[in-house]
Structure 1
Amino acid sequence: MFPATTYTARRKQLATDVQSGLIFLPGNAEAPMNYAGNTYPFRQDSNFRYFAGHNIPDLALTIDAASGASRLWGDDISLNHVVWMGEQPSVAELAARIGAERGGSLAELSTVLKTYAKEVKFLPPYRADRKTYLKEHLATLFPTGMGENAGANKGLIRAVINQRSIKSSEELEQMSIAVRTSMDMHAAAKTHAAPGQLEHEVAGLIEGMAIAGGGRLAYAAIVTKNGQILHNHYHGNTLQKGDLLLIDAGAEATSGYAGDITRTFAIGQPLTTKQEEIYRIVDRAKRESIAAARPGVKNRTLHDNAGRTIFSGLKDLGLTKGNPDEAVAAGAHALFMPHGLGHMIGLDVHDMEDLGEDLVGYDENTRRSTQFGTSSLRLGRELEKGFAITVEPGIYFIPALIDQWKADKICADFINFDKLKAYYDFGGIRLEDDIAITASGSRLL
C-alpha cells in the first residue's frame, strides 16, 4: 500500500470532480470456485483499491462528494474467523491506514444506501453478485432493468478515468517492479523451454515465478506454439525443435499493478531465416512505435504506422504488393495483425476496461474505427504525459482467415495470396513492451 496521504489526496480530487452525491465504491467479495469454502485467489476491485488501498474482501468505501468525508464500511471478524484465518486488523484500523473514518457494519451500510438511494453514485458493475446487490439496494436507479451500465453515474466514470489515466511516480515504480518480474519470467521460460516438453511445463514455471515475486499473474498467460491463435490458453501441445513459442505473460506486483510482456522465440535452436525475417519486421514496428510515442500523438496514428511497417516488410518478402499507405487505408495489414497496437495498463492489465473501453481509449476527437483489425484497437486517442501503455505489434498467418479473404477477394490488390501458402504452418510472432509517456517522449518500463 501507499501512504495514507496518497489515498486521501485521490479521494479529495474525486470528490472535487464529482461535486455532489454519495460516491459508493464497493470492494469485491470472495468468489467460490466449486463450493463456498474453496475460493478463487482473491483479487480486489481495482477502483476500490485505487481509492482505498486494501486488498481485503468484504469492504466498501463511501465518499461524500460535497464534504469530502470518506468512510470505510465492513464487519469486524468473529472469533471463529480468527481460529481459521488468524487475527486481522479491525475495520477502524483499516480505515485509519488510508486516512478515512470508520463507517459501520455492512448491514448499516445497506440502510444508508437505501435511505439515500437517489443520491448514490456508483461505477458499472462487472460481477453478478455486485449487480444483484445494487439492484436490491438502489432499485429506484434501475427503472428499466439491469442492462449494461444501467444506473452507473457517467460523471463518476469520467472522473475516475481522468484520474487513473495519469500514473504517478509511485504507480510507475510499482509497474516497474511488475515488469521486472515479468521479464524474469520470460528469461526463465526461454532458458527452460526445450524439445519434448509440454507447453504447460513452461506455463507452470512462469506462474510460479509470478507468485514468488509477491503477486500473481496479471492475466491468464498465453504460452503456445500456435501463436496465430491470438488468445490461446491451451497448454497441452508438445514442443518440437524449431517451433516458435509465443509467450504473452505478465506479473502483478504486490500492490496490484500489472506488467504485460510478450516474447516469441524458437525452441532448441536459433530462428530460421524465414522466422528471422518475420521477427525483424515485428521488432522494427515495435521499436519505431516506441520511438514515436509522445504527448499529443494519437495512438491510432502509431497503430497505422505499425501497419505500414508490417505491410512494407512483407512486401519486401513478396507477400504483399502495392502502395503501403493505400493498403493500410484499405485495411490490408489486418490480415497479418488483426488486433490493436496496444492499450492502457495500470492496476488492470487492460486498465479500467470495466468502466467502458471506448470511454478509456477514445474521445470526441478520436472515434473507434469500424474496420476489421483496427476496430480492435483499445486505445486510439492522443497520448498524455503520465499514460502507461503497451506496444505490441505482431504478424500472424491464420490459414482460415487467409482462405476467406482470398475467396472473397478482400484486399486482393494488396495481397499475394498464392505466396502465403508457404506460411500456413508458420504460426505467429508478437513482441510487446510497456512504456510510460514522458513530457517529451516515452520511457521503457
Structure 2
Amino acid sequence: MSRLADTLKSRRQRLSELIDFPVVLKSGEFKSRNFPANTYPFRASSHFLYFAGLSLPNAVVRIDGDRLTLFVDDPKPSSALWHGESPTRDQLAAEIGADEAYPLSEIGRFPVEDHSALTDAIVQLRLVHDESAIAEIRKALSVTIEAHQTGMRATLKAKTEAQIRAAMESVILSHNMTCAYNSIVTVHGEVLHNEHYHHAIEPSDLILADVGAEAQSGWASDITRTWSASGKFSPTQRALYDIVLEAHDR
C-alpha cells in the first residue's frame, strides 16, 4: 500500500471513532468562465481532498468505517486528444487505496442521509494535523518563503506592483503549485484586500505582500510581509514596523 493510501486509511479509521454511519463526500465540478470548454482551474472540496487525497473533478467517495469506495467515470476516449492520457477509475482507486470503484452513476445505489454530526466530526478530526498534512504544509511554506524573498529582491528594479507580483507568483508556478488565494501586492497597505497591481512604486513606498502557495494536495501557506521599496526603512517606517512586529510577537 502506498504512503498516500496508508495516510487516507488512518484518517478513515480516526473518523470512524467519531461517527457510526457512512459518509459521502463530493469533490465538486468544473465551472465555466464564459463557455463550457473554458473553465476555471478546478480545486476539489477540502474535505474530499482530506479523505480522497487527489483533486478529482466530478468524483464522490463513500466512507463506511475504514472502507473507501470511489465513484468516478473513466476518461472519455476523446479526452486523450485534448488533455493527454488520464488514469482510469481502477488506477485511481489503487492509488488512494479504495476497496471498490464504480462509475459515478452508481452512487444512487447507496442512500445518503444528512447527519448534522458529520461536519463537527470532520472539523474535530482536522483540527489536529497528522504527519502527512504537516509535511505538505511545510512544502507549501517553503515555496511561499522563497516567493517572498524573490519579491523583496525584485522590488529594487520593479516599476509597478504587478512586476513584484509576477516575480513572486513565478516562484510558486515553478514548483508546480498554485496561489492559495488572490495575491495582494500593494503600496496601499491601508486597504485590507487591495487586488489592484497598477500602482507605480516610489523609493519612499512600503510594499505589503500577502502571497501564499498551495500544494497539489490542497494544503497551503499564508504569509504577509511588509518591506521598504528602497531596501532600507526610513526612521518613521522603522518605528511603525517595530510596533507591528512587537504586537505580532506578543
The interval holding the TM-score normalised by the smaller chain is: over 0.9
**Residue of structure 1 equivalent to 2:213:** 251
Q: Which amino acid aligns with 1:43?
A: R
Alignment of 1:108-187 (within 5 A): 108-109=106-107, 111-112=108-109, 116-117=111-112, 120-121=113-114, 153-187=115-149
Whether the 8 Å CA contact 1:242–1:266 is kept in 2: the answer is yes
Q: Which has the larger radius of gyration?
A: 1
Runs of 5+ in structure 2 lacking a partner?
A: none
Confirm whether residue 13 of structure 1 aligns to residue 11 of structure 2: no
List per-residue Cα deviations over 1:110-148 (Å, max 9, x = no partner).
Answer: x225xx24xx24xxxxxxxxxxxxxxxxxxxxxxxxxxx
Counterpart Cα distance in 1 of 2:17 and 2:88: 29
Counterpart Cα distance in 2 of 1:69 and 1:169: 21
Alignment of 1:268-347 (within 5 A): 268-288=230-250
Q: Secondary structure at the match of 2:225?
A: strand
How far is the alpha carbon of 1:86 from its aligned partner? 2.0
Q: Which amino acid aligns with 1:14?
A: L
Whether the 8 Å CA contact 1:2–1:53 is kept in 2: the answer is no
Q: Which amino acid aligns with 1:99?
A: G
Whether the 8 Å CA contact 2:185–2:197 is kept in 1: the answer is yes
User: Which of 89, 100, 103 lines up with 1:102 in the alignment?
Assistant: 100
Whether the 8 Å CA contact 1:91–1:102 is kept in 2: the answer is no
How far is the alpha carbon of 1:2 from its aligned partner? 4.6
Counterpart Cα distance in 1 of 2:158 and 2:98: 55
**Residue of structure 2 equivalent to 1:51:** 51
TM-score, normalised with respect to structure 1:
0.54
Whether the 8 Å CA contact 1:216–1:252 is kept in 2: the answer is yes
User: Which of 180, 184, 201 lines up with 1:239 in the alignment?
Assistant: 201
Counterpart Cα distance in 1 of 2:19 and 2:125: 12
Confirm whether residue 32 of structure 1 aligns to residue 32 of structure 2: yes
TM-score, normalised with respect to structure 2:
0.93
Counterpart Cα distance in 2 of 1:210 and 1:80: 31
Counterpart Cα distance in 1 of 2:230 and 2:106: 62
When the two chains are superposed, the root-mean-square deviation of aligned CA atoms in Å is 1.7
**Residue of structure 2 equivalent to 1:224:** 186
How far is the alpha carbon of 1:255 from its aligned partner? 2.5
Counterpart Cα distance in 2 of 1:181 and 1:202: 16
List per-residue Cα deviations over 1:331-380 (Å, max 9, x = no partner).
Answer: xxxxxxxxxxxxxxxxxxxxxxxxxxxxxxxxxxxxxxxxxxxxxxxxxx
Whether the 8 Å CA contact 1:92–1:101 is kept in 2: the answer is no
Q: Number of residues paired by the alignment?
A: 249
Counterpart Cα distance in 1 of 2:57 and 2:79: 13
**Residue of structure 2 equivalent to 1:190:** 152
How far is the alpha carbon of 1:269 from its aligned partner? 4.1
Work out the percentage of aligned pairs sharing the same amino acid: 30
Q: Secondary structure at the match of 1:79?
A: coil
How far is the alpha carbon of 1:38 from its aligned partner? 1.1
Counterpart Cα distance in 1 of 2:74 and 2:239: 61
Q: Secondary structure at the match of 1:72?
A: strand
Counterpart Cα distance in 1 of 2:74 and 2:157: 53
Counterpart Cα distance in 2 of 1:2 and 1:220: 32
Whether the 8 Å CA contact 2:27–2:60 is kept in 1: the answer is yes
- Higher relative contact order (CA closer than 8 Å, sequence separation 6+): 2
List per-residue Cα deviations over 1:303-322 (Å, max 9, x = no partner).
Answer: xxxxxxxxxxxxxxxxxxxx
Q: 1:196 to 1:18 in 2, by over 3 A?
A: closer
List per-residue Cα deviations over 1:388-435 (Å, max 9, x = no partner).
Answer: xxxxxxxxxxxxxxxxxxxxxxxxxxxxxxxxxxxxxxxxxxxxxxxx
Counterpart Cα distance in 2 of 1:252 and 1:47: 16
**Residue of structure 2 equivalent to 1:374:** none
Q: Secondary structure at the match of 2:214?
A: coil
How far is the alpha carbon of 1:51 from its aligned partner? 0.2
Counterpart Cα distance in 2 of 1:90 and 1:195: 48
How far is the alpha carbon of 1:56 from its aligned partner? 2.1
Whether the 8 Å CA contact 1:181–1:210 is kept in 2: the answer is yes
Q: 1:230 to 1:2 in 2, by over 3 A?
A: farther
Counterpart Cα distance in 1 of 2:158 and 2:220: 32
Q: Which amino acid aligns with 2:7?
A: T
Counterpart Cα distance in 1 of 2:31 and 2:3: 26
Confirm whether residue 76 of structure 1 aligns to residue 38 of structure 2: no
